Each structure stands twice: as C-alpha cells, then as structure tokens.
Amino acid sequence: MSEPLLQAVDLQCERDERILFRDLSFSILPGTVTRVEGPNGSGKTTLLRMLAGLNDAWSGSLLWCGKPRSAQREEFLRNTLYLGHRPGIKPLLTPMENLRALTAGRRPLPEPVLREALDGTGLTWFQDVPCRNLSAGQQRRVALARLLIADEPLWLLDEVFTAIDSGGVSAIEDLLQQRAAEGGAVVVTTHHDLNLPGMQRIVLGGGAANEC
C-alpha cells in the first residue's frame, strides 16, 4: 500500500467554546477522493482550512508524507492546491488576467495553456470580459480553470460545485476521478450528492467525527 500523502491524528477544533470535532484521524492516500460531509456549521470549511495550513486554531497532528507537516511547510504548500468556497477572483480583471494571477508564483504557464484551460471551462467567449460582468457560475468556472492545469498531487476543494450547472458538475466529477487515477488525492466538501466509486467519507457533526 502506498504511503499517505496526508495523515491526520487526533485532530480537535473548538470554536467559541464549542467542540466542532475531536479524535478525528484519517489518512489521505494517493489515488483517492475523500468527501468531507456534515450539516451547516459542522466544521467542513474549518477542517479544510486546517488541512491547507490556513488555520492554526486546532490540536492534534498532521503529517505530510509521513513527517510532521510543520517541519516541511514549503514542500507541503508547493504540492497542495486549495480552492476556497468563494471563487476568490478579482471582479475588475478578466478571466485570463485572473487565471494568470491565480497561477502566479507557480510554474509559469504560457498563454495558450491558460487559454485552453478557460476554453475547457466553457469560457471561450468571455475571456476578455471583466469578471464582475459574469454570472455566479461563470465566475466559479474561472477559479475552476485552475484544476485543468494543476499538477499539485493534493487538491483541497471547498464547495466547488456551488452555482455550477449539471454539465459542469459531471465535468468536475470526471476531473476529480482523473486526478485520483493519475495518483493524486482530492479532499472535497460539498452539499452536492457526490458519490464516486471508492470514495472515502469523513463525516462531521454533533462534536464527533467518523471516517467511513
């Protein structure tokens, strides 16, 4: 069996004196898709932000490739793609300008590759329109174009299906499965009824947590 990319051991997180989850342990193996599920306010976004290194208010341990994540933060960040539940795009910039900004600081990608990614999300005719003039789903698609060019082995995706139409939903589901088939790992929160073959589930709610 291959080594986990990410391992969580006895995670606990408290918000406003309420325990969101405790004793939460799980492994994220290469080649897998994991869905974090639970009712509103159960801590899905909080957990994903913890995994992404964006929230330090927790206890327990997180290992990246078998070693404490804190000791190899740069390597972890280089190998992880996090998409938050907001599209995170700038309204005055065009989709192309946004995609360039979203990928800046990573491996520089030539313009045709970025253009192809936007084409792949159905934004061919909107590449030069300011994003504030796009619909909610189209704005989300700009952020999702990152998935078409991402080579990070670990994807942490918060509510990526929000505002996406049914054709887009199946395209994203295919992408997640493709990432796993390529040996990557995906952790996703969603209220959409995602049910991929072999999918692991982390169920939050009621102050306890289970891995299924």
Ligand X SMILES: Nc1ncnc2c1ncn2[C@@H]1O[C@H](COP(=O)(O)OP(=O)(O)OP(=O)(O)O)[C@@H](O)[C@H]1O
Question: Binding residues for ligand X, per CB under 6 A?
Answer: 15-16, 20, 38, 40-46
CB 79 within 8 A of CB 6: no
Of 13 and 96, the one with the shorter C-beta distance to ligand X is 13
Q: Give the Cα separation of 166 and 72 in Å (integer).
A: 39
- Residue 192 β-bridge partners: none
Question: Quick one: 46 or 121, whose CB is closer to ligand X?
Answer: 46
Smallest separation (angstroms) from ligand X to the CB of 85: 7
Task: Report in angstroms how near the CB of residue 148 gets to ligand X at its nearest.
Answer: 25
CA distance 191 to 39: 9
Q: Looking at beta carbons only, is 7 or 46 nearer to ligand X? A: 46
| Distance in Å, CB of 86 to ligand X, minimum | 11
> Measured from the CB atom, is 24 or 99 closer to ligand X?
24
Non-local (6+) Cβ contacts of 140 within 8 A are 87, 160, 162, 163, 164
d(CA 48, CA 71): 20
Nearer to ligand X, 44 or 69 (CB): 44
Minimum distance of ligand X from residue 145's CB (angstroms)? 23
Judged by CB, which is closer to ligand X: 97, or 159?
159
Query: Whole-number minimum distance, CB 50 to ligand X, in Å?
Result: 10
Does residue 183 contact residue 31 with C-beta atoms inside 8 Å? yes
Rounded Cα–Cα distance for residues 180 and 204 (Å): 23
Measured over the CA atoms of residue 190, residue 38, residue 15 and residue 187, the dihedral's sign is negative
Determine how many CB atoms are found less than 10 A away from the CB of residue 168.
19
Nearest distance, CB of residue 59 and ligand X, angstroms: 16
